[in-house]
Amino acid sequence: MTNQALAQVLQQARDQAKKILTALEQTGHPQTNESSGLYLALVSLQKRLVGPGATTRAQELAGELQQLAAQCKGKLEPLKSHLEQALRIIQGRPS
């Protein structure tokens, strides 16, 4: 259940990251590169968790999620709540 709930939250974060990235690209915003890096990291985490042949356990992603959450500043701030929710799922705490 943890992996399924985590995968759902990561998908939501990934979708929001893509929307933010698209908006930043269209305006040439200085955070475009940061946004792109964050989006690609979320894609990678999600593939490692639920992709074909995935062997990553949710607990193995906690450190990476903490690092990504710390990067959520400025235009990327809305993503932080998704990443913190993912951490709570991993830690077995209620949302």
Evaluate whether residue 60 is within a structural domain: yes
State yes or no: pLDDT of 81 exceeds 90.
yes
Q: What is the reported pTM?
A: 0.87
Backbone angles phi, psi at 73, to 5 degrees: -130, 160
Evaluate whether residue 95 is within a structural domain: no
Evaluate whether residue 13 is within a structural domain: yes
What's residue 4's pLDDT? 84
| Neighbour-count burial of 37, counting CB atoms closer than 10 A to its CB (0-12 exposed, 13-18 middle, 19+ buried) | middle
State yes or no: pLDDT of 1 exceeds 90.
no
- What range defines the domain where residue 66 resides? 2-90
**Which stretch of 3-7, 50-54, 75-79, 80-84 has the lowest confidence by average pLDDT?**
50-54
The total domain count for the chain is: 1
